[in-house]
Amino acid sequence: MARVELAPQVGEDFDRIMEHLSLHQSAQAAARIDDIIKAIDVLERNPLIGRMVRSDLRELVIGRRARGYVALYRYVAELDTVFVLAIRAQKEAGYAGNDR
């Protein structure tokens, strides 16, 4: 089973998502964050499940439409570790700090 590590910036991504959900008065903000975390947990057993976006990066699609998010990650087989680099809403143009 692979280890999953979140980059420090992912905390900022969660803050941004929570702020957006609060702004739009989503009554299910905590449940949405919980859904994202549960989806990321899938990477422990299936680290290659995400679609390839570059030779070393993958995206895990979480949910869909207005409830959809995308987690950018890198799996390092030698370490059997998934590094989650960023999370964004599917409707966002790109990841915050595009240099990830």
Q: CA angle 37-41-44, nearest 5°?
A: 160
Domains and CATH numbers, the chain: 3-89 (3.30.2310.20)
| CA nearest neighbour of 47 among 24, 77, 92, 13 | 77
Asked if 78 and 94 count as a contact pair (C-beta separation under 8 A), the reply is no
> Strand locations in the chain, DSSP E?
3-6, 51-54, 57-62, 69-76, 81-89
User: What CA–CA distance (Å, rounded) separates 65 from 5?
Assistant: 26
State the pLDDT at residue 5.
98
Q: What pLDDT, on the 0 to 100 scale, is given for residue 65?
A: 64
pLDDT per 10-residue tile (average), the chain, 100 residues: 96 90 77 91 97 93 82 97 94 57
